Amino acid sequence: MPPRRPTQRDIAERAGVSTATVSYVLSGRRGGAKPPPPETRERVLRAVAETGYQLDHAARSLRRQRTDVVALMYPAPSSPWSDRLAEELQVAAAGRGFAVVALPVITGASTAAILRVLKQRYIDGAVLLPDCPLDGAELAALAAQGCSLVVFDDDLEPGGFDVVRQDRASACRAAVERLIGAGHRRVAFLAHADEHGGALADVKMRSYTDGLVAHGIAVDPELVRPVADSRSDAYAAVRDLLRRPEPPTALLSATDRAAVDGIWAARDLGVAVPDQLAVIGIGNIPEGLMISPALTTVGAAALDFSREVARLFERLDASAPLPGVELAATWELITRASG
């Protein structure tokens, strides 16, 4: 017969306090009733350690109708952009007694398990980065069920959840226009793997193709390589492109990291950037300032998501549902030396 699990009553008896005091200390509550003195809190925590008591989070969540868990959903692989948002979310969550779970969306893999985390309320709220597989109706249904959501999307309308507008298309199109305006007609594109060879759904790819077509330039499939998420593949692809009889004179990459490796590939072949190959990335990561020449890029002016994180916890703390609002976090073309 397994040993009996210690209870909060056992903790109270050992610490010489009431079960209400034990519950208060273990719940991590702030505000409301007067908190116990520090020495009482220490006695309770010492009794917890001595008895090996483990809080039953499942039962606690059922009673409180809260899990104290929030999520970050992002298209895999991660990027410096999503890593920074995760970091800010972790810091804010830890200060409030919340945990954070990451929900990467892998291209071609089933998203049923990830969606179940949201739909079956394993979490209290989430931040969703662009291109996550939930439509407006699903998001509105989740919000109606009490799930707090902050969603990065340029097309959705707020529906009980908040929408962060970045206007990615305009900024990406500005990059294409810059290259074409400089006289480039052979512009290569390093795409995300899921964009190539099928639907041109991604805003970055769409901006590239639409920009070329608008200037009467045919899209050359040989200049589009699905390597933006692999640094080694990006390096190899750019080397191959530059060795062709008619190499590109400009390169646009769906990620800054691949653009940086494109610059390295060009330099290793003796191709001058930007004189012989103009390079523009997308993302505005810090590494773009460390490469020489510094990388021209598209993205937010700063990797700061404090406002969006604060809005998520504002929703979680609200005593009544908040209306959905739009938050502007507009991308821009950041001109440097590479293109």
Phi-psi region of 146 (alpha: psi -120 to 50; beta: other; left: phi over 0): left
For residue 27, the model assigns a pLDDT of 67
For residue 109, the model assigns a pLDDT of 59
Cβ pair 195, 202 in contact under 8 A: yes
Q: How many helices (H) and strands (E) does the chain have?
A: 13, 12
| Euclidean distance between CA atoms 115 and 168, whole angstroms | 25
Least confident of 20-24, 203-207, 255-259, 265-269: 20-24
In a domain, 250, yes or no: yes
Tokens of 310: 């604060």
For residue 14, the model assigns a pLDDT of 84
Is the sign of the CA dihedral 199, 204, 208, 213 positive or negative? Answer: positive
Cβ pair 250, 339 in contact under 8 A: yes
Q: Specify the CATH number for the domain of residue 157.
A: 3.40.50.2300
Q: Domain check: are 254 and 324 in the same one?
A: no
Cβ pair 298, 174 in contact under 8 A: yes
Q: Domain check: are 96 and 243 in the same one?
A: no
Q: Which has more pLDDT, 184 or 96?
A: 184
Alpha carbon distance, N-terminus to C-terminus of the chain = 72
Number of domains in the chain: 3
Of all helices (H) and strands (E), which one includes residue 19? helix 19-27
Best CA proximity match to 28, nearest among 96, 75, 91: 96
Radius of gyration of the chain (CA): 25
For residue 7, the model assigns a pLDDT of 80
Q: Specify the CATH number for the domain of residue 36.
A: 1.10.260.40
Cβ pair 86, 129 in contact under 8 A: no
Q: Domain check: are 308 and 161 in the same one?
A: yes
In a domain, 106, yes or no: yes
pLDDT band at 182 (very low <50, low <70, confident <90, very high): very high
Q: Domain check: are 132 and 28 in the same one?
A: no
Please give the residue range of the domain that contains residue 234: 168-300
Q: Domain check: are 207 and 296 in the same one?
A: yes
**Look-up of token digits 């407006």:** 136
Q: Domain check: are 161 and 172 in the same one?
A: no
| Euclidean distance between CA atoms 114 and 337, whole angstroms | 41
Quick one: average pLDDT of 135-159?
Answer: 90
Q: Which residues of 203-231 are buried (b: 16+ CB within 10 A; e: fewer)?
A: bbbbbbeebbeeeebeeeeebbbbbbbbe
pLDDT tens-digit series, residues 223-268: 999 999 999 999 999 999 999 999 999 999 999 999 999 999 999 9
In three-state secondary structure terms, 279 is: strand
pLDDT band at 114 (very low <50, low <70, confident <90, very high): confident
